[in-house]
Amino acid sequence: MSRQIEGVKGMRDLLPGEIELWQHVEGLARELFGRFGYGEVRTPMAEDTGLFVRSVGEETDIVGKEMYTFDDKGGRSLSLRPEGTAPAARAYIEHAINNKEPITRWFYMGPMFRYERMKTGRYRQFYQIGAEAYGSKEAAQDAEMMDMVVQFLGALELKDVTLNLNSLGDEACRPAYHAKLVEYLQAHREELCEDCKRRMETNPLRVLDCKNPTCQAVAAAGPNVLEFLCEPCRAHFDDLQRKLTVLGIKYVVNPRMVRGLDYYTRTVFEFIASHPALGTASTVGGGGRYDKMMKGLGGPDVPAVGFAMGLDRLVLLLKESGRTFTSPPDLFVAVADEGSQDAALALASRLRREGLRVDFDTRGGSLKSQMKRADKSGARFTLVLGEAERTSGQAKLKPMAGGDAIPVALDDVAKTLRAARLATAQAGPT
């Protein structure tokens, strides 16, 4: 007996019945991001490994532990993308977009890959919706992007999501903070986990991002990055907070938040959901400003800000809300006799061309079994087609939710179904 092949651990199938939730979220993102002037970009799932080493940071857990990296047949080191910002930046540079327009706004959605410990809403192949804005260094761009996320979460009707905000400073003021942080961490070295002892030497900010409770307690009592901001960084952060207030966006200043990537400067932010379904994995999205990354990748000196949201977690929250987004068939066509199957197939095809959702069991079978299939499909109406209907050109639409059958000419089925759909929509939920 052949061994059954199963899916890769941490990489799952999305099937009808669930995929409609994903399509709903993706559709809302495309529509709303378009209102803000963002165009969709699609980058390859595999990139030169050096892209992530140089942008995300060699000492990050993503690059050091989690990337799916391999040599291709040409001996090149490639990695499946673990995040979307670096590939978008590479595309922006490679296609010289800065020479074509002063401000560029892009969004993306698709799978990312990280070999990490799985928990609620987190997988090794996971999906993100994100956006990047290039060309503006002003706090207004940061605020606009956060406004877009707030409106997106509102369109999804997700509640109890809090915006956390911080500034990491820049190359002018961060060194002083780093020095003070290292001095503090050295004094508490024995309280840190082994990973944080290493991070303390290579990138001390990563200690603040550790999930170990003991390390978190040490970090909480450490120096406050906001107290080290230079005047321009302080003015930028104050301006951002002022603009968020103007937009009516509530936020919490969280000076311990650093995010998990090396490329951020100044603004960083996270949207944190308070929902038991997420357990400890409560961050549904976040991002920040990365004004120096483009130049560091060999591109122009262009400021940028971006964010990404975990689509898996957003869908999980929608599931918990009990809302459904499936679109049941408008009609199920059942066949009363074998001689009517071709006519039924042709009727279903014509109605589909006219924009209706029509289900039809190509296996045929008894009328009783077909009606069971019609009921299971959730179709609004069923039409039984037999010799009598074909001869007379008349049939009946049976409401599956109950009620009297509606006489209808076969040529008028589409018109009658549209009228019934409109009447149902106007009546609203019962």
Binding residues for L-histidine: 83-85, 114, 128, 132, 259, 263-264
Q: Which two tokens stand for residue 22?
A: 């994903």
Cα distances (Å, whole numbers) of residue 290 to 39, 89, 138, 267, 268: 20, 10, 12, 8, 9
Q: Which two tokens stand for residue 220?
A: 């909480």
Residue in 263, 294, 305 with CA at minimum distance from that of residue 137: 305
Q: Exposed, middle or buried: residue 119 (CB in 10 Å: 0-12, 13-18, 19+)?
A: exposed
Which residue ranges make up the annotated binding site? 83-85, 114, 128, 132, 259, 263-264
Instruction: Compute the CA torsion angle 144, 145, 149, 155 (nearest 10 deg).
Output: 50
Residue type, 331: L
Question: Distance (Å, rounded) from C-alpha 192 to C-alpha 184?
Answer: 12
Contacts with 141 (C-beta within 8 Å, 6 or more apart), sequence order: 133, 305
Q: Exposed, middle or buried: residue 36 (CB in 10 Å: 0-12, 13-18, 19+)?
A: middle
Cα distances (Å, whole numbers) of residue 289 to 202, 227, 351, 400: 22, 19, 51, 54
Residue in 311, 307, 264 with CA at minimum distance from that of residue 287: 307
Residue type, 261: L
Number of alpha helices (DSSP H) and beta strands (DSSP E) in the chain: 16, 16
Give the pairing type, strands 358-360 and 331-335: parallel
Question: Distance (Å, rounded) from C-alpha 65 to C-alpha 70?
Answer: 14
Residue with tokens 């302080």, as numbered in its chain: 234
Instruction: Compute the CA torsion angle 293, 295, 298, 302 (nearest 10 deg).
Output: 100
DSSP letter, residue 15: -
